[in-house]
Amino acid sequence: MTKKLISVIFALIFTISSFSVLSVTASATNNENKKEYPYKLESALSYASKNWNNGVGLCAEFVSRCIQAGGINVFEPRVSELFKALNNIHGTTYELKLTSGTSGTLKMADNKDKVGEGDPIFYYCNNCKRYTHVVICNGANDKGYIQDYAHNKAHNGQKQTYTYYCCGSRENWTMYSIVLDKGLLRYGARSSVKVPEINYLRNGANGVVVKWTAVEGAEKYNLYRKTDSTGWKKVAVTSKTSFADKKLSNNVKYQYTVRAVDDNVLSQYYDGETIVSLNAPKISITNNIGAVTVKWSKIDNADGYFVYRASDDGKKWVKIATIKGADNLKFNDKNVESGKTYKYTVKAYDGKVTGAYISKGVSIMYLATPSLFKATATDKGVNITFKTVEGAQKYRIYRKAVGDKSWRSLGEVTTNSYVDNTVKENITYIYTARAINNKSLSNYQKNPVKYRIGEKDNISENEQIINSVLKDAAKKK
């Protein structure tokens, strides 16, 4: 063998080896962004056949769970979001041909290679430009018509008419399918962002407080909420890991879930956490005789209420009473001192669930009720005296005649005495007073003692006799 021939052979071997290496390298490069996974359409349809009318979730949730059962980690409770999560990520989208235009039936022969068993079929409303419904394909019946499972209907073996009411139209529709990849998961899937987990869900000040775990790299979080009668609704977009949801109805079961967003790639949902909302009761407080009376509005279906009072330093709430029963709406706090300010708030409770509360509370200075009234005859009139009240800046004096329904305010004084020079003979008067400090008023004794000016024989035994000096002073007025 000549040296020239040997050189040619070695060159050829090197070329072939180099091509093989390049081919392997190129193959590795082409596949490094792909990951094997088995989409088991049999498992997806098995789940569909067992759960299509179980009352859990709406259409997108149902189809999401079917696809999850088949091995693709996608869970989207809204139709448009499910379409985005699958389109060009887990499969290829095709427009389907209906047998009668925009409203009719689907035949497998008309849509060859565009849809198959286990693939989702989406309804798109051309009027409002959104995806409104989704089902999962279960092949075709013996006449070639496509059959499917929906969250509330199973159309196996039936000729299904694909129409859906929206925007007042039943015919302006386009049907799309997504043929799911049966072997490769493409990079960019939303499941590549870690799912945040709700770790705190309670009725807080004026609403439900939701907190969740932070996700590394997340730019923001989308918070969703739903009830038993509504679908998922986005209620917040925030960079924080907590949110107070205040726009809630009382005694409604709400379910929350959250997803992380990283460079416009969204994490998956998980099923979320549930809580029953209990609104914050409205509170009113007044000074009573020997107590501060706290009243609040009724919260339907509550088991009862917790009454809280602020600590002396005002930094925390201290529970001072548990009131059982939804209709019991009052508490008397007798552990009070005159001249001292107190702040209160109230929570409803239902089992172990506590409700929202007014975080600022409601404040009042407790003022004791003026007492120990006495009347003394003077040349100027009836001098009413009473015991001073700690914390009072002034006192308001009231009078009414026996038989009257309402009190008349006579005036205000800064001392503990008042002279009434407007009395008339043979009328029995009742006097009382309230202590005042800014906007805080004490309660008053409703029937402290009676006084009457008149002849001795006309005064009953339980009335104090004012001497003739007072009588003469009154006549001069």
DSSP state letter for 10: H
CA angle at residue 349 from 348 to 351, to 5 degrees?
165
pLDDT in tens, the chain (477 residues): 444 444 444 444 434 343 333 333 333 333 344 445 567 888 999 999 999 988 777 899 999 999 988 888 788 888 998 998 888 778 889 999 988 766 788 999 999 889 999 999 999 988 888 899 999 999 998 889 999 999 888 887 777 777 776 776 666 789 999 998 765 544 334 446 788 999 999 998 878 999 999 999 899 999 999 888 877 788 999 999 999 998 899 889 999 999 898 877 777 777 789 999 999 999 999 999 999 999 999 998 899 999 999 998 888 999 999 999 999 999 999 999 999 999 999 999 999 889 999 999 999 999 999 998 887 777 788 889 999 999 999 999 999 988 898 999 999 999 999 999 888 878 888 899 999 999 999 999 887 767 776 654 444 444 443 433 344 444 544
Q: What is the CA radius of gyration of the chain?
A: 40
For the record, the structure tokens of 87 come out as 């389109």
Q: Residue 161: what residue type?
A: T
CA distance 141 to 157: 5
CA distance 49 to 66: 9
- Cβ atoms 227, 252 nearer than 8 A: yes
Q: Rounded to the nearest 5°, which phi and psi values hold at 105?
A: -105, 165
CA distance 220 to 237: 7
Query: With DSSP H G I counted as helix, E B as strand and the rest as coil, what are the percentages for the chain, rounded to 5?
Result: 15, 40, 45
With CA atoms as reference, report the closest residue to 361 among 281, 440, 290, 438. 281
The pTM assigned to this predicted structure is 0.58
Cα 96 to the center of its chain, rounded Å: 41
With CA atoms as reference, report the closest residue to 44 among 136, 144, 150, 169. 136
CA distance 2 to 93: 61
Contacts of 170 (CB under 8 A, 6+ apart): 103, 163, 164
